[in-house]
Amino acid sequence: MHDITGLDTTRQKVMNALLTRVQESLLDLVGGAVKLLPAILLALIILLITRYAVRGVNQVSRRFGRRVLKSRSLQLLFSQACRIGTWVLGVVIAAVVAFPDLRLGDLIGLLGLGSVAIGFAFQDIFKNFLAGILLLIEEPFQLGDQIVVNDYEGIVESIQIRTTHILNYTGELVEIPNSIVFTNAVRVLTAKQCRRTDLDIGVDYTTPLPLAKEAFLAVLNSGIEGVLEEPAPEVDVVGFGDSSIDFKVRYWTRPQIADVRRTRSRVAMALKEACDRNQISIPYPIRTVHFFDQRNFEESKPLNGARPEHP
């Protein structure tokens, strides 16, 4: 009976000690949180200030970039670098304020270990980020250029940290990852001062070819709005089609798609008027179909009625 009573007393003491330890740990945690609370609040205030400071830095960097840098792409890169640098500085200051015992070496080590883990987790984001920086530095195209990337064609609106924004000709915004733009072939339609358009037209086989060529060249040299005098227009015979002799009319315009499209329409209407004026026929596709009565057709009997030969 005494042994049971002593065992119960021992258990009670152990429980009391455990509860006391838990209470002390909780008090320590609460005390530490209370001590850190002002520092955490100050760190949050610093982050909030950093958020508003980024806007001011962005405006100042844009103005400074316009004065110092001529390239719009480099201006954008400078503005983005200043914005990111401001955020990094604000986060580091907030971390130092929130955790006073955190030394610079520990912070650098933490950033080193974290960068490895973040690099594996966000490798696509970093790849697009680096590709965006290279696009801004190398400038294969500029803001406002009309480009073709894969199946997308439009006007370059901006090059962001992760994507390149293209506004297509129907007014839709297309965001293409920078890595795709950097690693794929890009057609820059407005890279030069002029752009050639090839327009096909066919004439009847009875048409004198020198007459048709002279008429088409006269149209191109008649001062149609949008057609440039230099380089000079060209007209060539390119082949014999099924129902027409094919010409290819080549002329140059300004590179913007609106000029190309409107000038093509004017040239097409002028060529049709020239054909009508010179009595040049533009033939329809012709197909000849032969019919025969299959009831009079026998495989063992020739069509001419002759008797089949047998060996």
- Give the mean model confidence (pLDDT) for residues 119-138: 76
What is the C-alpha separation between 262 and 226, in angstroms, rounded? 8
Query: Are the CB atoms for 178 and 129 separated by under 8 Å?
Result: yes
pLDDT digits (tens, 9 = 90+) for 102-111: 665 555 555 5
User: What pLDDT is stored for residue 25 in this prediction?
Assistant: 67
pLDDT bucket at 94, cuts 50 / 70 / 90: confident
- Does the pLDDT value for residue 139 go beyond 60? yes
- Does the pLDDT value for residue 153 go beyond 80? yes
The two tokens of residue 290 are 């032969």
User: What pLDDT is stored for residue 311 in this prediction?
Assistant: 46
Q: Write down the mean pLDDT value for the chain.
A: 79
Q: 8, exposed or middle or buried, with CB in 10 Å at 0-12, 13-18, 19+?
A: exposed
- Does the pLDDT value for residue 251 go beyond 80? yes
What is the C-alpha separation between 68 and 293, in angstroms, rounded? 86
User: What percentage of the chain exceeds 70 in pLDDT?
Assistant: 72
Q: Which of 153-157, 197-201, 227-231, 293-297 has the lowest mean pLDDT?
A: 293-297
What is the C-alpha separation between 242 and 110, in angstroms, rounded? 74
Neighbours of 194 (CB within 10 A): 13
Per-position DSSP letters for 11-48, written without gaps between them? HHHHHHHHHHHHHHHHHHHHHHHHHHHHHHHHHHHHHH
Report which of residues 26 and 303 the model is more confident about: 26
What is the C-alpha separation between 145 and 166, in angstroms, rounded? 10
Q: Which of 59-63, 166-170, 209-213 has the lowest mean pLDDT?
A: 59-63
Q: Give the predicted TM-score (pTM) of the model.
A: 0.62
Report which of residues 91 and 172 the model is more confident about: 172
- In this structure, the chain runs to a length of 311
pLDDT digits (tens, 9 = 90+) for 216-242: 999 999 889 999 999 999 999 999 988
pLDDT bucket at 201, cuts 50 / 70 / 90: very high
- Does the pLDDT value for residue 22 go beyond 90? no
pLDDT bucket at 62, cuts 50 / 70 / 90: confident
Report which of residues 307 and 288 the model is more confident about: 288
- Give the mean model confidence (pLDDT) for residues 46-60: 83
- Give the mean model confidence (pLDDT) for residues 15-23: 68
User: What pLDDT is stored for residue 17 in this prediction?
Assistant: 67
User: What pLDDT is stored for residue 255 in this prediction?
Assistant: 93
Neighbours of 187 (CB within 10 A): 11
Domains of the chain (ranges; CATH) run: 33-121 (1.10.287), 132-188 (2.30.30.60), 195-277 (3.30.70.100)
